[in-house]
Chains A and B, each alone.
Chain A
């Protein structure tokens, strides 16, 4: 027995295990801290710091303190700071590699705090949410334009179009001129007449003469038929050419008007443009708010979306670390690999309170069959009467997921809130109260959201009054008198490609203030433009019509020759028939 057994080996093994346990107890807190920092940074897309981590064996739990999450957009600040996070772990399930946390508490939440040194930012693998084109939010120009200057700078498409049409007509006319010379003409008609006259013979003529005359008549008829056929096909071709050229000329005639309309719309505010001022002024701001929300949504959703890939009745999923793949089998008592049943959070603002609960955080909602839900309530805060934030991420059926969020803010005291960063008409809410309601829905089919905000007791600043023209001055003056207004936005589409429709009762204010002025300006500009554009194009259009008239004449000539030939043909037929009767 002793030949094969080394009893001191048992002591060595126990000593080895003891050393491992001591080592683990000494360094486990550091391991936990590093692990949380690494996983947190990967999830947040920016540096996450943890001041200290403490693991307790009995009861098994972890307490983290001083958690700082760097804001990826402003790395010198924290988007979130949590004073303390504590939770207990289910030990038995941990041995089964399942992190099950029944209760987690997060206290001392702070937002937007300064960092001692800027945190690093992890660049995303996937392209960032595409920036919404801002062209649809551009304001029309408020300056009264000088027509002479417009004429110098603008390219008049109508002039080019008329020139091109004229060239086309000229080219077609030249082609038809050539073709007409090849068609039967007056000399051809005279030739036919001579040939027919030669057929005039008496009743005393011989049978041979009669037969010869009959053959000649037949030949003339055949020639006439051929020429008539050529004329017919030429006339059809000419008609087609004329139709397309007429269309071209009509388009060229309309072109100056279109130029006038286009330039007028570009340089003046149309009454319809005035109706969409809210879209132009607030659209980009709404997009910026919404994009910020989407960035966080895109960070959170991968954490709750299951990573499993079905393969028969078992499920294959890629582990976060390590090699190979983990194959998941049906469990007798199914539990997700990671689950936090309840997270209670609270923050202590300067005044009032803000607290909330998040339930069922797990990437395996299909296993527990319950969606993630959250609800936060705040009241009596310094600049805010009440705030409610609630919603849910339902990924139980990943193919038809449904994520919702509702935000309700009442009595938010807004100060120096930039509503529009437009250079010509910046709008800043210097002071005022805002009530806001936002509802967002994201499904596999797309996203939709509505925002409605009511502003009360407001003071609006529209920037430097300076030398800005009559319309802008009127708009500024009207805005400075506004004390309350409503703003609403509808968002729909796909992340990165969504439409925003903004409306506000400020549109009525804009219209009342400058509607008549804009109308008058628009009419005057249109009149001046009409005179200028007509001067440029009138002569060209006349030439074009004249060229087309030439082709119409060619058509009439073909008709005349065709009629003459038809008369000759009838004559030829009669003569041919007469000769045949005589010969009998």
Chain B
């Protein structure tokens, strides 16, 4: 746990572009919310490896969002079921249902559909929000945090040694 927090701090405090971190976290949200072995997750993995996004952030974020998904599954189920059984969309879902990819991805499953819709809706706002947050953190908080008494004590602790070793 300590090493995970240390890694996160290392990434935040590094010279990496905030956009690379925020996009990686956005993609990790999709991976975390979706069931692990799906074609869409394979596509996300390809994007993470090919696009120059922060892989550490992606891996950490995936673990974090997979944990959250455990609590959000009932909401995903409700969203998915409502969307899948909406009369107006039946034609589209029927067409998707009749494709190999549609069946392979299990878009007809309420949790899968719910998590895809949830992730699609929150991907852009999350990336933008995180981007701003990381910039603000580096500009203002990082310096202030380092000066606080708490951080002074922390910097003298084992945790800081670990952080130092990793950075």
Contacts and interface: CB of A to CB of B under 8 A. Distances in A.
B22 to A, nearest CB: 14
Nearest to A7: B50
Contacts of B112: 324
B35 A322 contact: yes
A13 B46 CA distance: 6
B49 A328 contact: no
A99 to B, nearest CB: 12
Interface in A452-491: none
Interface in A1-44: 3-7, 9-10, 12-13, 16-17
Interface string B40-59: 00100110111110000000
B103 A96 contact: yes
Given A95-B100, A96-B103, A330-B94, A325 B50 contact: no
B108 A327 contact: yes
Interface stretch (B5-13, B84-92, B159-167): B84-92
Place the interface of chain A in its size category: 20 to 34
A145 B87 CA distance: 79
B109 A326 contact: yes
Contacts of A13: 45-46, 49-50
Contacts of A125: none
B103 A95 contact: yes
Question: Top 4 A-B pairs ranked by shortest CB distance?
Answer: A324-B111, A9-B49, A324-B110, A9-B50
Interface in A80-134: 92, 95-98
A332 B98 contact: yes
A329 B93 contact: yes
Contacts of A329: 90, 93-94, 97-98, 108
Interface of B: 35, 42, 45-46, 48-52, 73, 76-77, 80-81, 84-85, 87, 90, 93-94, 97-98, 100, 103-104, 106, 108-112, 114
Given A4-B52, A312-B90, A325-B81, 6 more contacts: A95-B100, A95-B104, A98-B103, A323-B77, A327-B84, A329-B90
Interface in A315-373: 316, 319, 322-332
A313 B90 contact: yes
A10 B51 CA distance: 10
B52 A3 contact: yes
Contacts of A198: none
A314 interface: yes
Contacts of B104: 95-97
A327 B81 contact: yes
A517 B114 CA distance: 82
A189 to B, nearest CB: 94
A87 B42 CA distance: 30
A230 B111 CA distance: 86
A322 B109 contact: yes
Given A95-B103, A324-B80, A332-B98, A5 B111 contact: no
Given A12-B49, A323-B111, A324-B112, A92 B35 contact: no
20 contacts: A3-B52, A4-B51, A4-B52, A9-B48, A9-B51, A12-B49, A13-B49, A97-B106, A312-B87, A313-B90, A314-B85, A322-B109, A324-B73, A324-B109, A325-B77, A326-B108, A327-B93, A327-B108, A330-B94, A331-B98
Given A5-B51, A9-B49, A314 B84 contact: yes
A311 interface: yes
Interface of A: 3-7, 9-10, 12-13, 16-17, 92, 95-98, 311-314, 316, 319, 322-332
B51 A16 contact: no
Nearest to A325: B110
Contacts of B76: 324
Contacts of B85: 311-312, 314, 316, 327
B73 A323 contact: yes
B16 to A, nearest CB: 13
Contacts of B80: 324
Given A96-B100, A97-B103, A312-B87, A324 B49 contact: no
Contact of B50 (A6, A326, A327): A6
Contacts of A16: 45, 49
A17 B52 CA distance: 20
A335 to B, nearest CB: 11
A5 B50 contact: yes
A98 B80 CA distance: 22
A308 to B, nearest CB: 12
A433 B118 CA distance: 72
B10 to A, nearest CB: 20
A314 B88 CA distance: 12
A490 to B, nearest CB: 48
A83 B76 CA distance: 45
B49 A10 contact: yes
B109 A319 contact: yes
Contacts of A3: 52
A90 to B, nearest CB: 12
Given A96-B103, A327-B110, A328-B108, A6 B97 contact: no
Nearest to A324: B111
Nearest to B17: A3
A322 B34 CA distance: 12
A103 to B, nearest CB: 24
Contacts of B114: 324
Contacts of A327: 81, 84-85, 93, 108-110
A565 to B, nearest CB: 89
A6 B52 contact: yes
B6 to A, nearest CB: 25
A441 B97 CA distance: 38
B100 A92 contact: yes
A414 to B, nearest CB: 54
A89 to B, nearest CB: 15
A436 to B, nearest CB: 48
Nearest to B23: A4
B49 A6 contact: yes
Nearest to B81: A325
A95 B102 CA distance: 10
B86 to A, nearest CB: 10
A323 B112 CA distance: 9
Residue of A5, A314, A324 contacting most chain B CB atoms (<10 Å): A324
Contacts of B108: 326-329
A314 B90 contact: yes
A314 B77 CA distance: 16
A95 B101 CA distance: 8
Contacts of A7: 50
